Structure 1
């Protein structure tokens, strides 16, 4: 038990250090990208810095598998360099037990990442979009979300773009009769949610079909009661990959119940499900590089190869996700296939290096 804690704490320290380092590196790249927006509207240097800081938690989630691989390589590599792994094995600790100690570390990390994805990333992302939209004055439509379709009880809603759920642009509302005939069509330039839950539509054109004839009017503004709550609207303002996992799962079920397209949201949900498998796979795949011939092959070269393997895994995961969306492949398959392949590759590499996952019976 003490041995497991010692190994786990060694790898945990490396994981925290690497996570901070990689998150800072990628945040710096994002900050440089934000610098290009300075001068547009009221966007200033502090706004770019605030946006970078608020979006940093999402980078932690995305980089966690690679950080786990590097932490396992560095943590176990440090133990091997000081001959501690050799000492552990001389006292009867098998290679499987050492690997198991690293895998056990994945459990609290998975819970921590779930807490981050469920409670930290969504409000931080909402605040980032809200502050950015306020500073830019909504002058850049490309920065807002790509819009959405929603329907309930014969009412179909389409929003072309919106930022943070504050102001919606390009709103179209179709109302159908029970027999499927179009009853009315409302088109508005903007819609602003009100404290009482209604939407104030501006730049409105309304068409009502009655007895085969269309009656058109253009009121200055119109109050409309939506079927979406304010909370649901705020969630829809987020990119699917930054939505809370539980809310994302509920929204996917709702879309399927309403026979709507949910492929993009399903892909994001299964990508989140794949993260625990990726963490465990990275911990396992690091073992052959550590237990391999440290003196003859060079530990530095093995760590570089392992790091490159982690980067390749991220690229493969992203490519399969995009191909899955493009070809409409089952999201569960495209999201889980890289992680499962990683686990199989790790098992094959262990067998290839004669590392048995089943611990031997020992008194130690």
Structure 2
């Protein structure tokens, strides 16, 4: 009888163990719940910050309404096309405010206290927001490479076409680039395959001017062949200048159409891969690539800043559970604004002082990570 009872109890014990295996671990349930709340917090922060920044963009565009064919609907369309880029730019502050909203709500409802009583340390609780932050970083990277850059470039082109009928848009300055022996100026691009108002200065090995070519426009036939039209070529030789006119003249260009389009775009509008290629092109031709290199490194710096904001948001909540959620949000917003302004100042000052672009872009994020780490250690 005793042996039979022992066998029955062992069978029931094994059945209970097998049944328990099908139930998710309590810790994982809590992590999923926190991650869900943080995701909701990110959505709330996005719904507040993105319209606010877009409103400022719209106000800026409304100043140009009435010039050329630029109308109110064009200003709204331009602003809408910039939404992915603005989301990428404010992602660190979405991470900060979103996490403070989520964890602050849990703290106000005493759910964080219950989690800590259940045996979860603050550091373990913070793993869930960090996991959601990694998802945010991956989303930003994909958005930057495949969506934001393309939409922003289309927005810039769309706006330029609408304004060009009554504004010069810097045509007198043009687009300048060079390689080892040629300096090229393009007045403007009428479309992807036609460059207008062309100047080409050909130099010898010692840097002296050999020829100066002026063309009314150029049709880009192939990646390295341009057909110049209404051309005047001035040759400098033995202290004499001779001029020759051509109806058309083929020129072997050192630029392909993709390089030209890149030259006409602001650095911040380029995708990471476009920036890498363009920085290599500028450096290979002996040109200043600092502004484009800075734009590339700032994308890495933005990822570091996002991590820093996530880390910084955790002691906001755990360090002051009794403080109201509104006070936390105001304090977090003030820190976010201060960090944003400081980052802009450092970037512009570093570019003027010609500091290393990687140093300029990475220092703010690394500094904030160190600061957040110190605060976390003091809090916990």
Q: TM-score range by the shorter chain?
A: 0.7 to 0.9
State the Cα distance separating 1:165 from its structure 2 match: 5.3
Measured in 2, the distance between the counterparts of 1:265 and 1:144 equals 22
Which of 318, 323, 328 is matched with 2:354 structurally? 328
- How far the C-alpha of 1:339 sits from its partner, in A, is 0.6
Structure 2: which 5+ runs fail to align? Answer: 1-27
RMSD value over aligned CA atoms? 2.6
Query: What CA distance in whole angstroms lies between the structure 1 residues aligned with 2:167 and 2:252?
Result: 28
Q: Secondary structure at the match of 1:329?
A: coil
Per-residue CA deviation, residues 176-225 of structure 1 (Å, 9 max, x unaligned), is 2455443211234x645546555565675431234542212455665544
Question: Is 2:113 the counterpart of 1:111?
Answer: no
Alignment of structure 1 residues 1-364 onto 2, 5 Å: 1-142=28-169, 148-152=175-179, 154-159=181-186, 168=195, 171-178=198-205, 180-188=207-215, 191=217, 193-194=219-220, 196=222, 199=226, 205-217=232-244, 224-295=251-322, 297-353=323-379, 355=380
1:142 deviation in Å?
Answer: 3.9
Matched residue SS, 1:289: helix
Native 8 Å contact 1:145 1:238 kept in 2: no
Q: How many residues align?
A: 352
Deviation (angstroms), 1:336: 0.8
Partner Cα separation in structure 2 for residue 150 and residue 267 of structure 1? 19
CA distance in 1, matches of 2:374, 2:259: 45
> CA separation of 1:225/1:19 partners in 2, compared to 1, >3 Å: closer, same or farther?
farther
Unmatched tracts of structure 1, length 5 or more: 356-364
Task: Classify 1:351/1:169 alpha carbon distance in 2 versus 1 (closer, same or farther; 3 Å).
Answer: farther
Change over 3 Å in CA distance of 1:56–1:140 after alignment to 2: farther
- For the structure 1 residues 162 and 268, does the alpha-carbon distance in structure 2 shift closer, same or farther, using more than 3 Å as the test? farther
Contact map agreement 2:126 2:314 (CA 8 A) in 1: yes
Distance in 1 (CA, whole Å) between partners of 2:155 and 2:138 is 24
